[in-house]
Amino acid sequence: MNPALLMNMMTFFSRSLLSLLLIICAISIFFPVSVSAASLAADEVEVLKQIGKTLGKEDWDFSVDPCGGEKGWATLNPSKGFENAVTCDCSFSDNTVCHVTSIVLKSQNLNGTLPTELVNLPYLQEIDLSRNYINGTIPLEWGTTQLINISLIVNRLTGPIPKELGNISTLANLTVEFNQLSGLIPPEIGDLSRLEKLHLSSNNFTGELPETLSKLTNLKDIRLSDNHFTGKIPNFIQSWTNLQKIVMHASGLEGPIPPGIALLTKMSDLRISDLNGTQAPFPPLNNMTSLKYLILRNCNLNGSLPEYLGAVTSLKTLDLSFNKLSGEIPSSFSSLADTDYIFLTGNLLSGPVPDWILKKSENVDLSFNNFTPGSQGCQESEVNLFGSSLNGSTGISSCLTSTHCSRTWYSFRINCGGKEVNVGSGTKYEADTTTLGTSLMFVESNSNWAFSSTGDFMDDGGSLKSFIQKNTSILSVKDPELYMDARISPLSLVYYGFCLKNENYKVNLHFAEIMFTDDKTYSSLGRRVFDIYIQGKLVEKDFNIVDKAGGAGRSITMTYDAIVTNGTLEIRFYWAGRGTTAVPVRGVYGPLISAISVDPDFTPPSEGGNGMSTGAVVGIVAAVAFVIILLLGILWWRGSLKGKDTRDEGGVNDYFVPGI
Ligand SMILES: *[C@@H]1O[C@H](CO)[C@@H](O)[C@H](O)[C@H]1NC(C)=O
Ligand SMILES: *[C@@H]1O[C@H](CO)[C@@H](O)[C@H](O)[C@H]1NC(C)=O
Ligand SMILES: *[C@@H]1O[C@H](CO)[C@@H](O)[C@H](O)[C@H]1NC(C)=O
Ligand SMILES: *[C@@H]1O[C@H](CO)[C@@H](O)[C@H](O)[C@H]1NC(C)=O
């Protein structure tokens, strides 16, 4: 070899080596390798061993230091951050000893109980056991800790909130949503003067909210949905002046919304729905100038829409559906043209539909109101105007233009959310796969049915926009093709059959729960609860597919009698605020329907017989009939005003039809 070349190569290597060493030095200066001998205090190691046993956490490896972040002690989930971590503070006693400050074990299906032993971790500030399969009660011993954050959402916890927790003066977050806790809220909770988040939704809490809660002046975020609280929404909420978020769907509390709400001027997310109690005008929200989400749905509001809402340009979602609001849409509302969603469904609003709404490309739902019919059809841009006018037939008949009754029908079958299938000996279910603008559209099929869907899944990060769901696990059902896809709805989903012979029918609703699982994981802890109306009559209150079918992934067919008197059959599914909203992930709730079959409860004439009639004539008859049913619907709706007022137990009125 050429000596000069050899020389060159050696120089090259030595330089490379030098650079490498320099780089290593630099790295170790900026990112020092931990050589400190600090490790977890020996007594806390023993406590962790007990805690692991109590929780059923089997992959903690005690051959390494729990504070070192190795071998299962801290696992970074790239999409969700640390969902599994024991965190320590090692800055005590000259950095020679560490103490556990936080235990976060999320979504691990741990199936033990809550560890009383936590009290022996004196520096612990956080315990987060969200989305596991933990049972038992909340240990009253926790009352002696200095915890800042307790998060136990989505587990199987039972029993009450121990009054001893009122002694945790450091506590800022108490989140126990989506369990099976029960009993009264202890007045001692009012002593938690640093409390910012109090999340109690989807449990079985009862009784009135204790007056002591008025002392929680640092509260920013309170969630009370899906419980069985009693009494009125207390006016003492006015002392929660730092509150930014209230979520109160079907809490059990009664309206009207108290005047004290006016003082909560920092509110950005106000969601109240399905409130029992008497009718009342729109609450005074004039000073809530930073609202992003305003939901006052099915709250018995009457009177007119307030002008000032038009000035709240921060609004993203405005949902005032299923109230008794009347009058015109105020002109000030035109500044809400950039709002993501406006739902005014199911009120008594009148006057012309404003131009800005017809031009708005985003989602607006004005269906089931009393607007003056205009040149608008059923669906202008993404505005759902189905049944929005009642004083004339323009709006309605244009909704029916392609549903000309070229014949009389004696049945219809829909594979909701799925493709056309034939089951059994050739029974055909029609496809129902429309995903286009699905949030609000009134869609007509080529045969004798249609549907109208209202609502937006909240907090789902936009992931459920198609409103069609596929099964997530294997189904143990006959005819799985009927159940592998289902139509879901965040709020209200109505199927209509048209051009039916006026007769008696059997309505068969086919359900299978396909989003929860039937195993011992947190995905099995979902509770889907919704209401079903047929021909405007409530046939199921708090319907739960899993309960009826005997588990997730199993099917159940519910059969109801229905009388058609005007050619039209209406089947409505409505989410009345009950059930879990975050299992297995946020935004899973509301009605789910797999298939519908409506069969004659009479002997239809043989094919080719008098079933056929002149298309045009029947078309007109059907359109007129449909106007009549809508008018009847409105009469029911108005009739329900009286019906509701006289009901002091605030229960469900059989003829209360949300949306009509
Ligand atoms: C709270 O702590 C005090 C003093 O430590 C004690 O006397 C009281 O019984 C505790 N309250 C509850 C409800 O445990
Ligand atoms: C809720 O509590 C009531 C009594 O307080 C009880 O009757 C009911 O069964 C409980 N419901 C559930 C789902 O646990
Ligand atoms: C809203 O704020 C204004 C000025 O800050 C005040 O005068 C008024 O009383 C407030 N209104 C309500 C309903 O609190
Ligand atoms: C959906 O259900 C069908 C029928 O049971 C099954 O073959 C399929 O694997 C399921 N899909 C998923 C994702 O589990």
Among the bound ligands, the one closest to the CA of 142: 1
- Pairing type for strands 156-159 and 135-136 reads parallel
pLDDT of residue 380: 44
Convert the pLDDT of each residue in 175-216 to its tens digit. 999 999 999 999 999 999 999 999 999 999 999 999 999 999
Kindly give, in sequence order, each residue whose CB lies less than 8 Å from that of residue 102, ignoring residues fewer than 6 positions away.
85, 86, 87, 124, 125, 126, 127, 128
Distance of CA 349 from the midpoint of ligand 3 (Å): 28
Q: Is the CB of 514 under 6 A from ligand 4?
A: no
Minimum mean pLDDT among 9-13, 147-151, 323-327, 393-397: which range?
393-397
Distance of CA 491 from the midpoint of ligand 4 (Å): 27
Among the bound ligands, the one closest to the CA of 180: 2
Q: Distance (Å, rounded) from C-alpha 550 to C-alpha 647?
A: 34
pLDDT of residue 399: 52
Q: Is the CB of 158 under 6 A from ligand 2?
A: no
The rounded Cα 220 to chain-centroid distance in angstroms is: 21
Topology given in CATH for the domain delimited by 402-600: Jelly Rolls (2.60.120)
pLDDT of residue 11: 55
Average pLDDT of the residues of the chain: 83
Residue 657 amino acid letter = V
Q: Whose CA is nearest to atom 2 of ligand 2?
A: 204
Q: Is the dihedral of CA 509, 515, 517, 522 positive or negative?
A: negative
Per the listing, tokens 């490896």 go with 61
Q: Whose CA is nearest to atom 8 of ligand 2?
A: 204
CB atoms within 10 A of CB 391: 11
Convert the pLDDT of each residue in 220-232 to its tens digit. 999 999 999 999 9
Q: Is the CB of 238 under 6 A from ligand 3?
A: no
Mean local confidence (pLDDT), 246-260 = 97
pLDDT of residue 391: 33
Distance of CA 182 from the midpoint of ligand 3 (Å): 39
- Total residues found in the chain within this entry: 660
- Domain limits, the chain: 261-399, 402-600, 623-660
Q: How far is CA 178 from CA 78, 115, 116, 159, 229, in A?
A: 26, 19, 21, 13, 15
Q: Is the CB of 163 under 6 A from ligand 1?
A: yes
Q: Distance (Å, rounded) from C-alpha 385 to C-alpha 364?
A: 9
Distance of CA 229 from the midpoint of ligand 2 (Å): 12
Of 265, 328, 274, the C-alpha closest to 299 is 274
Q: How far is CA 36 from CA 89, 125, 299, in A?
A: 13, 24, 61
Task: Label residue 373 by pLDDT band (50, 70, 90).
Answer: low
C-alpha count within 13 angstroms, C-beta hemisphere, residue 113: 10
149 pLDDT higher than 90: yes
Among the bound ligands, the one closest to the CA of 262: 3
632 pLDDT higher than 70: no
Q: Whose CA is nearest to atom 6 of ligand 3?
A: 287
Query: Higher-confidence residue: 124 or 351?
Result: 124
Of 660, 651, 659, 577, the C-alpha closest to 277 is 651
SS3 322: coil
Among the bound ligands, the one closest to the CA of 143: 1
Q: Distance (Å, rounded) from C-alpha 20 to C-alpha 34?
A: 21
pLDDT of residue 381: 42
Q: Is the CB of 284 under 6 A from ligand 3?
A: yes
Q: Is the dihedral of CA 558, 563, 564, 568 positive or negative?
A: negative
Q: Whose CA is nearest to atom 13 of ligand 3?
A: 262
Region for residue 461 given its phi and psi (left: phi exceeds 0; alpha: psi -120 to 50; beta: otherwise): left
* Exposed/middle/buried for residue 108 (C-beta within 10 Å: 0-12, 13-18, 19+): buried
pLDDT of residue 484: 97
* Exposed/middle/buried for residue 435 (C-beta within 10 Å: 0-12, 13-18, 19+): exposed
- In this structure, whether the domain defined by 261-399 belongs to CATH 3.20.20.70 is answered with no
SS3 427: strand
Copy the structure tokens of residue 367: 């269906």
Q: Is the CB of 188 under 6 A from ligand 1?
A: yes
Per the listing, tokens 């009509």 go with 660
Q: Whose CA is nearest to atom 11 of ligand 1?
A: 164
SS3 27: helix
pLDDT of residue 163: 98
Convert the pLDDT of each residue in 45-98 to its tens digit. 999 999 999 999 998 999 999 998 887 898 877 666 668 999 999 987 777 899
644 pLDDT higher than 80: no
Distance of CA 301 from the midpoint of ligand 3 (Å): 22
Task: List alpha helices for 181-279, DSSP H.
Answer: none
CB atoms within 10 A of CB 461: 9
Q: Distance (Å, rounded) from C-alpha 307 to C-alpha 309?
A: 6
Q: Distance (Å, rounded) from C-alpha 407 to C-alpha 585?
A: 45
Q: Distance (Å, rounded) from C-alpha 585 to C-alpha 578?
A: 16
Per the listing, tokens 């962790």 go with 48
Q: How far is CA 68 from CA 34, 45, 74, 268, in A?
A: 10, 12, 8, 41
Mean local confidence (pLDDT), 379-398 = 45
Task: Label residue 626 by pLDDT band (50, 70, 90).
Answer: very low
Q: Distance (Å, rounded) from C-alpha 285 to C-alpha 309?
A: 8
Q: Is the CB of 143 under 6 A from ligand 1?
A: yes
Minimum mean pLDDT among 7-16, 321-330, 473-482, 495-504: which range?
7-16
638 pLDDT higher than 50: no
Distance of CA 266 from the midpoint of ligand 3 (Å): 13
Of 462, 482, 456, the C-alpha closest to 593 is 482
Copy the structure tokens of residue 582: 């975050």
Task: Label residue 413 by pLDDT band (50, 70, 90).
Answer: very high
Q: Distance (Å, rounded) from C-alpha 412 to C-alpha 409?
A: 8
Q: Is the dihedral of CA 53, 55, 61, 67 positive or negative?
A: negative
Question: Cα–Cα–Cα angle for 302, 305, 308, nearest 5°?
Answer: 140
Q: Is the CB of 370 under 6 A from ligand 4?
A: no
Q: Are 557 and 617 in contact (CB under 8 A)?
A: no
pLDDT of residue 458: 85
